[in-house]
A and B are shown apart, each in its own frame.
Chain A
Amino acid sequence: MTFNIQRQDQYSRGELLLRTFFGWLYILIPHMIILLFVSIAASILSFLSFWVIMFTGRYPESWFEFQVKFMRWNIRVNASIYNLVDGYPKFGLDHEHEGVEFDVTYPENISRSSVLIRFLFGWLYVIIPHGIVLGLLSIAVVFVNFIGWWAVLFTGSYPKGMFDFQVSFFRWSQRVSLYMAYMTDTYPPFHAEPDGPEDSSERLLDDQV
């Protein structure tokens, strides 16, 4: 999985204030209304994928791509709402947001036994342990986001540590979501480090340089 949000050198204070006071109106509500319907389709496909994997051992590739695009859309809306990126998140499954990178390698085969175990006991060995950690981290994210908001307002720059902490939180959550959506056989690790060198903010910054 490749997940990254590129930290900007400078953030717009105007956009920050606009998002803070009216973001719910011009970002959250319009996106959520459409995403609600898309999420119904995603839920249906996710449910059906379980059965398809049980019988064929494969996640249908078109459905997989749909789920990735749906997740990408969610991520760019979240990144915007959390003030991690400037700019308006685009509507639609085929769009991307500059600075927000999310991709998942399509697995040719998915282990049926692993999927069955996840379906039956996923709540026990994935949801509960990761949920507890992510639940605690989410409290920290709220505070970090609040402090980051003031930092951006006064300096126009997001403190790197705070920014990376939030990105790490989203990366971790996304790994858990992918695993529970049967889109990967890799159990999500209890850390939020990038998967490899291709998934690091340094690479993105290097590319920029």
Chain B
Amino acid sequence: MPDQLPEREREDAMGAYLMMFAAVAVALPLPIINLIAAIVYYFTNKNKSPFIHFHSLQSLLAQIPTTLMNWGVLYWGLKIWLFKELSLDQDFWIYVAFVVLFNISYFTFSIVAAIQARKGKMYYFVGIGAYCRNVVFASENNTKYNRGY
């Protein structure tokens, strides 16, 4: 199957995972930027092919918990340093450490997924991979894909 997929299709699937760098690209350290980029990428590419649909959906769903957790750090940090409503305690640092580990995991798995997508292979994230496969491939009607390239 990998060799049968056009290079362009594999590149588009790979691109879905690279949306995690969108915030870096626009130099805005806001967690929401990556999510917006992933959403836009998903909706502009999902009809191209099942392979691209799967990877862009998986990338988008993986982005959601990461974004929420990063927002948590931002919100908590603002409460401590900007609004002075909370004090800096151990709970905050434990949460930060957890979020950092989560981000590193997310980053690593996304890079692996991007490489696999570039090779034309499926790669399933724990928890959401199977769901994405079901959403994309369980449907018997694949005529909606226009391979718009």
Contact = CB atoms under 8 A, between A and B. Distances in A.
Contacts of B7: 58, 61
Interface of B: 7-8, 11-12, 14-15, 18-19, 21-22, 24-26, 37, 40, 45, 118, 149
15 contacts: A41-B40, A44-B25, A44-B26, A46-B25, A48-B22, A52-B14, A56-B118, A60-B8, A60-B14, A61-B7, A61-B8, A62-B11, A62-B12, A62-B45, A62-B149
Contacts of B118: 56
Contacts of B21: 47-48, 51
B12 A48 contact: no
Chain A, interface SS category = helix
Interface in A48-83: 48, 51-52, 56, 58, 60-63, 65
Contacts of A48: 15, 18, 21-22, 25
Given A48-B25, A60-B15, 17 more contacts: A40-B26, A44-B26, A44-B37, A46-B25, A47-B25, A48-B21, A52-B15, A52-B18, A56-B11, A56-B118, A60-B8, A60-B12, A61-B7, A61-B149, A62-B8, A63-B11, A63-B15
Contacts of B25: 43-44, 46-48
Chain B, interface SS category = helix
Contact of B26 (A43, A52, A62): A43
Contacts of A63: 11, 15
